[in-house]
Structure 1
């Protein structure tokens, strides 16, 4: 126990908490949006148990990855279709591909649903069409997809299991505290829900980009990077991702302010 109470481990813990907070933004956004698909009376319980179960499984995932890191990172298949598809595939590649496709599908489906709805009241009722258990399972599944990237990043900082586990648990507690507030904000500001879905769409693209480099980074071999028609699949940098998110928020805020100004001018003109 005394070996854990070092300045190095404390510094790593603080760094890991910051990392979990940054990487957990999109996860929290997904939880807030998806939980609204459950019956209204059970939405808060869905968020609570979804996060609790997901955090527990994330700690288990961390333990498994530390124990089986070599076998999980080794490529089990290498594409060699010159000029069409080349590169290695490992467990991380599959996780990122499946997670990215699922998130993109979810975002596109929900955006299409919003465009197809004629009345807001109908939309509210339709959102409660999934069972609480189904939504909890989806939240847990996507939490694990999101956490895979954060766990790999955390292992690059330290391999001390208690430090990593504490950082994961603290991030889970933070999500529990913030989830209800984020959901209430989205419910009161429906326009930001559309913005959130577009952010999830970008997250899906980011995960697909990560898939292209997963085997190459694990084996430190650039020849294992996935290439389509000779073009390497390069992941979007975190800086680019968060810059895109900031731009989307800025556009939404400016557009909303401009719309309010136009409405005020129309009302003023109608009064005369």
Structure 2
């Protein structure tokens, strides 16, 4: 237990809580909109159970994914296309490649969606009402889709299951307690959601980088000597795919935050200067 209480795990937990909060916003917004189709007396209960089931599904999915990554470690195919693609792949490689691509696609899609949609939620007005059970079942099915980017992003940060599960549970509790307030805040301050989506893009790159060495780590775990395992690393057009270091990842996140803060302050300064000029003119 003492091994879990480290600065690295604490930092990873904070980062994961932020990512879970950002990735859970779309889920929370969907739950909020969909719950309006239930009878008024049951809407609060539908939102509560929707969030609880979302957290439970993510922990189950996380456990299954971690177990599969730990069990299916041995490489099962080796590419020998000299000058184009060489190296071996295992289950983790496939998960990281498809997961990283899926997360990057999700981030780009959500960013483009935010740029094209002016009023979120107005389209639900006038739609047919449903029973509370029907709404909860629909929310559960949609949570299965929403959970993948959340779980894959978490695995890209750390492989400590306790830390991963704690981040999901804490974010779920925060969603339950602050659901209405968080939704109103993010709707008024959408730049923080955009910031989170750009961090999500970086997480996708992290996953793709991890894919390059996944077969190497899997082969070493099965007892293969380090020198032989190194030959299994993925190379694309002669360049080895190297994972991004955690320090580089955190530095990139900090830079994004600093840029957003400075940009927000600069916009406020410009607006105040323009307002002052208008008053004098």
Superposition map of 1:177-216 within 5 A: 177-179=173-175, 180=179, 183-216=183-216
Q: CA deviation at 1:23?
A: 5.6
Task: Provide the aligned C-alpha RMSD in A.
Answer: 3.0
Q: Does residue 1:21 correspond to 2:25, yes or no?
A: no
Instruction: From the superposition, tell whether residues 32 and 20 of structure 1 become closer, same or farther in structure 2 (CA, over 3 Å).
Output: same
Q: Does residue 1:229 correspond to 2:233, yes or no?
A: no
The equivalent position to 1:176 in structure 2, one of 161, 172, 176, is 172
Q: Does residue 1:141 correspond to 2:153, yes or no?
A: no
| Deviation string, structure 1 residues 207-231 (Cα, Å, up to 9, x no partner) | 1111111111222311111110000
Partners of 1:54 and 1:139 within 8 A in 2: no
Q: Does residue 1:241 correspond to 2:234, yes or no?
A: no
Q: Which runs of 5+ in 1 are unaligned?
A: 1-9, 155-163
| Deviation string, structure 1 residues 210-258 (Cα, Å, up to 9, x no partner) | 1111111222311111110000111111111111111111111111111
Instruction: From the superposition, tell whether residues 247 and 147 of structure 1 become closer, same or farther in structure 2 (CA, over 3 Å).
Output: closer
Partners of 2:96 and 2:211 within 8 A in 1: yes
Partners of 2:100 and 2:205 within 8 A in 1: yes
Cα distance in 2 for residues equivalent to 1:190 and 1:79:
44
Cα distance in 1 for residues equivalent to 2:13 and 2:124:
28
SS at match of 1:87: strand
Cα distance in 1 for residues equivalent to 2:216 and 2:146:
29
| Matched residues, number | 245
Instruction: From the superposition, tell whether residues 183 and 216 of structure 1 become closer, same or farther in structure 2 (CA, over 3 Å).
Output: farther
Q: CA deviation at 1:45?
A: 4.5
Match of 2:82 in 1: 82
Q: CA deviation at 1:138?
A: 1.9
SS at match of 2:244: coil
Superposition map of 1:25-36 within 5 A: 25-36=18-29
**TM-score w.r.t. structure 1 length?**
0.77
Q: CA deviation at 1:112?
A: 1.6
Q: Which runs of 5+ in 2 are unaligned?
A: 36-46, 128-137, 221-228
Q: Does residue 1:11 correspond to 2:2, yes or no?
A: yes
Cα distance in 2 for residues equivalent to 1:23 and 1:270:
43
Partners of 1:29 and 1:196 within 8 A in 2: yes
Cα distance in 2 for residues equivalent to 1:262 and 1:150:
38
